[in-house]
Structure 1
Amino acid sequence: MIAFVIAVFALAGLIKGTIGLGLPAVSMGLLTIFMSPFQAATLLIVPSLLTNFWQLFAEGHVLQLIRRFWLLLTGIIIGSVWSIFPTLGHAEFHSEALLGGMLALYGLYGLYARTMPDLSRHETWLSPMMGYLGGALTVATGVIVIPVMPYLQTLHLKRDDLVQALGLVFTTSTVCLAIFLHQNPVEDIPTDYTMSAIALLPALIGMWFGKKIRYRISEQKFRTVFFIGLMVLGSYMMLHQFGWI
């Protein structure tokens, strides 16, 4: 199991280092093939939190971002506390299927999203709504992807601002997820922070190699393969959850 976890986070880190995203989605998608979503989410905490923390503070201007996106962050916190979805750990809830659907949508979005409409003039009322849905889905699936990531891209931020905004959102959601997992333990599934810490090193090594790869291959080709892979993985998870394959 340790070797499997190391391999998963090395691959997820490689992808994040190459295209700047994908560590939580890839990790959760692969880990849940062999373990429960709740257990997979506990392993994600340390590597996700520290890599996103680094992404957030790499460029500075953190307070400026918080002042702009405090409504979005507030929505994430509220959604993680009062989710409209059944949360991780509910035995009768098909969280694997929901996560698979999220990954498939993420892959579809990544393949076909080219130019996004400019919704920045509606930011005041859209931010808390998008944040709430993102927080609610975080404690339901362990991943904050839809709708927060596409929403941030509709604000047409500069490249560095977008990377930092994603780091801010991912850090906030990971903290909320960690608090949720700690306050809602599942019997017979202990929170394994030791294994989560072990996963950090391969994730960082993968990110380092990913940055090397970024300069050697076409990012667009890699993104295409990555998002197709997410669609296939997500579709498999949905079909497997319902016993169709």
Structure 2
Amino acid sequence: MTALELATAAAVFLAGGMVKGTLGIGLPLVAVPLLSLVIPATQAIVLVAMPVLVSNAWQAVESGNLQGLRRFLPLIATQLVTTLLTVPMTLALSPRTLNAVLGAVVLLAVVLLCLPLRLQVAPTRERWWSAGIGAFSGAMGGVSSLTGPLIISYLASLRLPREAFIGSISLIYLGSAIPLYGSMAAHGRLGGTELLLSTLALAPVACGLTLGKRLRSHLSETWFRRVLLVFLTVVAVVLALK
């Protein structure tokens, strides 16, 4: 990466951290498509590895609610399988095609965040719903690393308490991130250099998280989310046309 690309990446991770600090979600949703405007999409996916792994592991432990691992095991299991199946196909795509796919996934994410699911999932059917959601989100994650919007909509439909929601979604994110980045490493896309750069990205992400927390107390979350969605729509269209 050139000096300009490194500076751009630092600014992107700062922005991603601010979004996560303000909304509690959205780090890869912001960082991956923005980085893909200046570097190859596969490299962008790799660079978010450490921020995603560290932030979600920390949130999972901090929540103290690890029971979600057993409850959402069907989701995590199918997500793992489809992630591993999708990553090799993703790596075989041309940069132009992958940008178009990533743009489409970002647009789908925007739609899901604008129109959250209003499901009524019976406890007796939750395991089947979880398995299906896991399969679809794993395919999305294998292509773009963006599993968040679908998982958020599904967990919101289950009306989980706040701490249970945070603990469960962090575990699910880890369940998708570990096979994704493990597969990237196995295919030679996550080496020592990429791992070092991804680790260095923790610094601007931490600064962004701090700024986001301060911003949250001064800015309406509703308006911030609207601006973010409009911004992501523009980025998705640019990616699709790139």
TM-score, structure 2 length as denominator?
0.90
CA positional deviation for 1:185 = 2.2
Divergent runs of 4+, >6 A: none
Q: Deviations over 1:16-55 (max 9, x none)?
A: 0000111011110100001111111111101111011111
Please give the alpha-carbon distance, in whole angstroms, between the structure 2 residues aligned to 1:184 and 1:225.
37
Could you say what secondary structure the match of 1:33 adopts? coil
Does the 8 Å CA contact 1:106/1:227 hold for their aligned counterparts?
A: no
1:164 aligns with 2:162: no
* Structure 2 counterpart of 1:16, from 7, 13, 20: 20
Q: Which moved more, 1:1-10 or 1:80-89?
A: 80-89
Matched AA of 2:94: A
Does the 8 Å CA contact 1:104/1:233 hold for their aligned counterparts?
A: no
RMSD after superposition:
2.2
Matched AA of 2:45: A
Where does residue 90 of structure 2 map in the other structure? 87
CA positional deviation for 1:217 = 1.1
Query: Structure 1 vs Structure 2: percent identity of aligned residues?
Result: 28
* Structure 1 counterpart of 2:37, from 28, 33, 39: 33
Please give the alpha-carbon distance, in whole angstroms, between the structure 2 residues aligned to 1:178 and 1:99.
17
Where does residue 56 of structure 2 map in the other structure? 52
Gaps of 5+ in 2: none
Where does residue 107 of structure 2 map in the other structure? 104
Matched AA of 2:144: T
Please give the alpha-carbon distance, in whole angstroms, between the structure 2 residues aligned to 1:112 and 1:140.
22
* Structure 2 counterpart of 1:185, from 161, 182, 188: 188
Please give the alpha-carbon distance, in whole angstroms, between the structure 2 residues aligned to 1:109 and 1:128.
19
* Structure 2 counterpart of 1:77, from 73, 76, 80: 80
CA positional deviation for 1:147 = 3.1
Could you say what secondary structure the match of 1:30 adopts? helix
Please give the alpha-carbon distance, in whole angstroms, between the structure 1 residues aligned to 2:201 and 2:126.
36
Does the 8 Å CA contact 2:87/2:184 hold for their aligned counterparts?
A: no
Gaps of 5+ in 1: 241-245
Please give the alpha-carbon distance, in whole angstroms, between the structure 1 residues aligned to 2:240 and 2:226.
21
Q: Deviations over 1:151-196 (max 9, x none)?
A: 2222221222222221111112111111010111259x98611110
Q: Which moved more, 1:120-129 or 1:220-229?
A: 120-129
Please give the alpha-carbon distance, in whole angstroms, between the structure 1 residues aligned to 2:87 and 2:188.
19
Where does residue 243 of structure 1 map in the other structure? none
Please give the alpha-carbon distance, in whole angstroms, between the structure 2 residues aligned to 1:14 and 1:84.
28
Matched AA of 1:132: A
Report the CA distance shift for 1:23/1:89 in structure 2 as closer, same or farther (over 3 A).
farther
Once the two structures are superposed, the pairs formed by residues 220-239 of structure 1 within 5 Å of their partners are: 220-239=222-241
CA positional deviation for 1:199 = 0.5
Matched AA of 2:111: L
Report the CA distance shift for 1:73/1:206 in structure 2 as closer, same or farther (over 3 A).
same
Once the two structures are superposed, the pairs formed by residues 94-173 of structure 1 within 5 Å of their partners are: 94-113=97-116, 116-121=118-123, 122-145=125-148, 147-173=150-176
Please give the alpha-carbon distance, in whole angstroms, between the structure 2 residues aligned to 1:71 and 1:41.
25
Where does residue 43 of structure 1 map in the other structure? 47
Matched AA of 2:231: G
Please give the alpha-carbon distance, in whole angstroms, between the structure 2 residues aligned to 1:160 and 1:6.
31
Does the 8 Å CA contact 2:87/2:143 hold for their aligned counterparts?
A: no
Where does residue 217 of structure 1 map in the other structure? 219
Does the 8 Å CA contact 1:105/1:231 hold for their aligned counterparts?
A: no
Where does residue 8 of structure 2 map in the other structure? 4
Does the 8 Å CA contact 1:182/1:191 hold for their aligned counterparts?
A: no
Does the 8 Å CA contact 1:75/1:132 hold for their aligned counterparts?
A: yes
Matched AA of 1:157: L
Could you say what secondary structure the match of 2:91 adopts? coil
